[in-house]
Amino acid sequence: MTSSENDLWKKSATDVVSLLKNKEISPEDALNSNLKRIEETHNSINAVITVCEDRARKQIKNLNTINKDHPGYLHGLPVVIKDLTNVKDVRTTYGSQIYENNIPESSDFLVERIEQMGGIIIGKTNTPEFGAGSQTFNKVFGATPNPWNLDYTAGGSSGGTASALASGAAWLGTGSDLGGSLRNPASFCGVVGLRPTAGTIAHGPQNLPFNGLSVDGPMARTVEDIALFLDTMSGLDSRDPLSVNAPQKSYQKALNENVPKLNIGISDDYGFLACAPEVREAINKAEKFLLDMGHNVERVCPDLSNAEETFQILRAHMLATDKRELYSLHKNIMKEDLRLNIEKGLALTEEQISKAQLSRGELVKNTNDFFEKYDLFISPASMVSPFSIKEHWPKKVENTSFDNYVSWLMTAAAISLTGCPSLAVPCVKTENNLPIGIQIVAKRRNESLLVSFGNAFQKYTNNYNITPIEPG
């Protein structure tokens, strides 16, 4: 391997794609560099748990060039896929012993799209069982720690992708987000993650095709790389009933447009949630950054006060509907948290479900009203900084105690209910050098504003490393 290949993993995805496009390096060079870095970091972080080298090399030989002029074309860049998403002929376990030896015969629509756009699938990233959990841990592959400090969690459930990105074992990776499963790990690992509006990124087939509460999204080291990957992933797929056309203007083009003076609402706790002191301080720092950038900033937020009860019910109902048959066959194999969530959903009454649906409608109306006056809303991506990998979930924040692993996620989960896109971006580091991110929220279908503002914020704060860190 050449010295240039050795250094490739340190570069941004955007830079590597440029090198590939200009034929300064080959897809084989990028693949070899990526494989070497995965091997170097695997024993420490256990992030890329299944590597499909032979398949990747076959992909390179048959690289799809139909879309080579598309702004999101990747020109042979290796990409990692969260292990909740099917990749044809690649072991896909969903983090569950039930599917420990599962080899899908077809790929998810999203994977097909990435491959059509010149991406090379190099491997699968770790996730908790069926994406349910505050830690990225399962009985098939074990735990994925935070590469900044291996004693701390990478978060869940897209912790495998986040950890791989931060340590240089990936340039781009997919995540999924129900109640913060993408934003939380991005915040903990000092990378960037986007939960898009439902339908922006097509995926499936799935049991609940009209479910917009859980979505797939891009994860990367920088907002610039997010814009690139979002151009890759977005676009109409008629097989997904929520799917919409990509915008006429590419996200990469929107990225570099001047951001006007904006009206921004900001909150650390939504007026009713707990928030760790170091996270409150991060929001204070973010507020100062925003004012220094010339924006109008006000301590205000949409009314999200009914969010927790609503989310807990709708999440449990969704899990019970989706996993009912699996539960009946394999409940003794499922981890306790997942089993209890499904059982909670099965026990819900029609009145409870109806009330939650109406409550979600109110939350949507409240955010619509908010965005009539404000361009963006900023809050913590997580109410805590990274916690010990030995801790199942944070049991207490300030004076609030949690008896389940969902309640502490509500800064992110409340936004999920609104259907608004949300971008997790690094903001500060704790005294022990662990990242804390913020989430930037825009009105639905306004991902272009998110990436342009997020890019400006990241450049202004300079609080990111394009060069990945060494795990330890």
CB 48 within 8 A of CB 42: yes
Contact (CB, 8 A) for 1 and 36? yes
pLDDT above 90: percentage of residues in the chain:
97
**Are the beta carbons of 191 and 220 closer than 8 angstroms?**
yes
Residues annotated as catalytic are 82, 157, 181
* Position 99 pLDDT exceeds 60: yes
Please classify residue 1 by burial: count the beta carbons closer than 10 Å to its beta carbon, then call 0-12 exposed, 13-18 middle and 19+ buried.
Answer: exposed
CA–CA distance, 106 with 160 (Å, rounded to integer): 23
| Phi, psi (degrees; rounded to nearest 5) at 307 | -65, -40
| Average of per-residue pLDDT across 334-347 | 96
pLDDT on residue 227? 98
Closest by alpha carbon to 13, among 404, 471, 466? Answer: 466
The mean pLDDT of 260-275, rounded to a whole number, is 97
The CA angle 33-36-39, to the nearest 5 degrees, is: 150
Q: Residue 439 pairs with which residues in a beta bridge?
A: 379, 424
Tokens representing 369 are 């009203």
pLDDT of residue 237: 98
On the question of pLDDT at 371 being above 60, the answer is yes
| Region 434-455 average pLDDT | 98
Give the pLDDT confidence of 377-404 residue by residue, as tens digits: 999 999 999 999 999 999 999 999 999 9
Average pLDDT, the chain: 96
Q: Is the model's pLDDT at 1 over the cut of 60? A: no
Q: From CA 107, how far away is CA 174, in angstroms rounded?
A: 14
* pLDDT of 463 higher than 80: no
Tokens standing for residue 187? 């915040």
Give the length of the chain: 472
Q: What is the DSSP secondary structure assignment for residue 190, as one 8-state letter?
A: T
Compute CA distances 157 → 112, 160, 161, 236, 462, whole Å. 22, 8, 9, 26, 27
User: pLDDT tens across 294-339, in order?
Assistant: 999 999 999 999 999 999 999 999 999 999 999 999 999 999 999 9
Q: What are the chain's domains?
A: 3-461 (3.90.1300.10)
Q: What is the pLDDT of residues 142-198, one digit of tens each?
A: 999 999 999 999 999 999 999 999 999 999 999 999 999 999 999 999 999 999 999
Q: Give the pairing of strands 119-125 and 48-51.
A: antiparallel
pLDDT band at 4 (very low <50, low <70, confident <90, very high): low
Spatial CA neighbour of 108 closest among 202, 173, 235, 195: 202
Give the model's pLDDT for residue 466: 74
Mean local confidence (pLDDT), 105-118: 98
What's the confidence (pLDDT) of residue 3? 42
Average pLDDT value for residue range 239-255? 97
Please state, in angstroms and rounded to a whole number, the distance separating the CA atoms of residues 358 and 309: 12
